[in-house]
């Protein structure tokens, strides 16, 4: 049987859900909540029905690039089992589902003059229709890191803004025309900064470029991440202009960009240098994209001061176009770091603001309980601080589009025990973070309109392969059908939102 048809029994889950009475009904009645995924991580069918090769297909098939030597050739087979997945999501009680489109499934070679793949359009039409038939609102991301490999080969992808932008706009237009009559919530780019830094600074993500010649044959970590990010911002802005002029009048949808950003707090909260360093770290990570889009039309002064001409400059036209180019603030966040000022000059490869990020502060206090992912620790206080920081800086309604955690001990053989499915660490994470979010709304006045859990099922977690399990649904990767087993956290998340969302 493909799906274990019912979520875990709820007899213990009520005791595990921390339902704060003062936060009952804190969230608006039309609050959107559900799960987020990315095409490259779940769909599989990587070369089926006319799909072209993406940069992640290429990287996954390159020996030594993925932690467990796996590929996403099959992933969770969401391409084959989308109907069953939608049924499972419905059983979880979700209101919305955020997913991405695979550019190379829609336009296999990616370019503005390349043919569209009818089978790709058909698949996403079927998925969208299935969601709507089950009362689930689609939130669609155009780009979640998987540029067609053909564009990388032709002209270096996003390193060439002039050639890339028309290709991206044509792809976006095809999507708006095919799906915009039903899709009313669009996201242009997912975490443009992570795409740039992991792919062009560290070189561990596709397309795998950096200054580290032991790891990557090509690349310049000191310049390319900023060039690529500039391309993302400018092409995003042109895409939004196109949507607003050509599609919004009839389709009546909204469009935004989703930015990453974890909270940075001072290592020593009495040291002015550490206080300044934490602010600088937030600007390098978040305001890098947030300020051009929501505040000034330009990069933060702290970045220009450190990076100089390595940071591209917007033309006057680009600056005007980028500023105000997102209807809402799309926000992905997971954890918090203690930040310490570095007393040495910044190195050319520094992308974080010349700071040191630490797990404990000057008092020896930990930033939170460990997950199964080295950088990710639970810190609800930091999320609330970050929500306030973003709201106070930009005053734009926030859509939280990703938040979640891994949990230790989930790498077991199928079938997973009830103990594994009773994922207490993840449950504690969601209890803390969702109550923090509701507190930010009710007590701090932050305008928050959605929350999407990362993620619906365990999946192919990029360069980590199948070694990171973020899902509220456990996947048996050894079974041909990638059998799904719901975890208790899926029930707890539902109960929390039933408590936190105000009734009509």
Catalytic residues: 191, 402
- Rounded CA-CA distance 143/175 in Å is 11
Distance of CA 39 to the CA centre of its chain: 12
The single residue listed with the structure tokens 């792809």 is 171
- Rounded CA-CA distance 337/386 in Å is 12
Query: Three-state DSSP class for 470?
Result: coil
Return the H-helix or E-strand segment holding 357: strand 355-358
DSSP-derived secondary structure letter, 265 = E
- Rounded CA-CA distance 428/403 in Å is 13
Question: CA geometry: angle at 84 spanning 80 and 90, to 5°?
Answer: 140
Sign of CA dihedral 460, 466, 467, 473: positive
The single residue listed with the structure tokens 């390159």 is 62
Burial 198-227 (b: 16+ CB within 10 A, else e): bbbbbbbbbbbbbbeeeebeebbbbbbbbb
What's the start-to-end Cα distance of the chain, in Å?
Answer: 38
């Amino acid at each position: 049987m493909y799906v274990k048809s019912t979520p875990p029994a709820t007899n213990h889950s009520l005791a595990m859900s921390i339902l704060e009475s003062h936060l009952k009904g804190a969230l608006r009645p039309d609050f959107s909540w559900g799960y987020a995924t990315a095409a490259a991580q779940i769909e599989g069918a990587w070369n089926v029905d006319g799909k072209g090769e993406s940069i992640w297909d290429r990287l996954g098939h390159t020996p030594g690039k993925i932690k467990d030597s796996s590929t996403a050739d099959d992933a969770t087979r969401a391409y084959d089992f989308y109907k069953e997945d939608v049924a499972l999501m419905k059983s979880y009680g979700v209101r919305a589902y955020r997913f991405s489109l695979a550019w190379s499934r829609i336009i296999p070679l990616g370019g503005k003059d390349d043919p569209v793949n009818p089978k790709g359009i058909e698949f996403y039409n079927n998925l969208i229709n299935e969601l709507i038939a089950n009362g689930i609102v689609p939130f669609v991301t155009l780009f979640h890191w998987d540029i067609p490999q053909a564009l990388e080969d032709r002209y270096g992808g996003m390193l060439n803004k002039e050639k890339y932008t028309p290709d991206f706009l044509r792809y976006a237009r095809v999507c708006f025309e095919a799906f915009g009559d039903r899709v009313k919530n669009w996201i242009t780019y997912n975490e443009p900064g992570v795409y740039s830094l992991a792919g062009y600074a560290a070189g561990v993500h596709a397309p795998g470029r950096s200054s580290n010649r032991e790891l990557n044959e090509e690349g310049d970590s000191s310049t390319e991440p900023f060039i690529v990010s500039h391309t993302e911002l400018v092409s995003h802005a042109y895409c939004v202009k196109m949507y607003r002029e050509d599609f919004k009048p009839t389709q009546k949808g909204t469009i935004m960009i989703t930015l990453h950003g974890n909270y940075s707090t001072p290592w020593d909260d009495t040291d002015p240098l550490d206080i300044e360093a934490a602010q600088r770290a937030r600007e390098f990570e978040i305001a890098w994209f947030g300020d051009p889009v929501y505040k000034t039309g330009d990069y933060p002064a702290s970045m220009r001061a450190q990076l100089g001409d390595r940071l591209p400059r917007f033309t006057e036209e680009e600056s005007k176009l980028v500023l105000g180019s997102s209807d809402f603030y799309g926000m992905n966040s997971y954890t918090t770091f203690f930040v310490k000022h570095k007393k040495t000059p910044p190195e050319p490869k520094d992308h974080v603001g010349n700071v040191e990020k630490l797990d404990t502060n000057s008092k020896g206090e930990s930033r939170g309980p460990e997950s199964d992912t080295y950088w990710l620790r639970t810190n609800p206080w930091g999320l609330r601080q970050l929500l306030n920081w973003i709201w106070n800086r930009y005053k734009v309604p926030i859509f939280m589009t990703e938040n979640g955690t891994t949990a230790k001990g989930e790498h077991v053989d199928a079938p997973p025990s009830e103990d594994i499915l009773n994922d207490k660490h993840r449950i504690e994470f969601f209890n803390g973070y969702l109550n923090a979010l509701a507190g930010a709304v009710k007590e701090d006045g932050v305008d928050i309109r959605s929350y999407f859990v990362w993620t619906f099922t365990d999946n192919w977690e990029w360069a980590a392969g199948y070694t990171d399990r973020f899902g509220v649904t456990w996947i048996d990767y050894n079974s041909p059908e990638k059998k799904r087993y719901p975890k208790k956290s899926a029930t707890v998340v539902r109960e929390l939102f039933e408590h936190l969302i105000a009734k009509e």
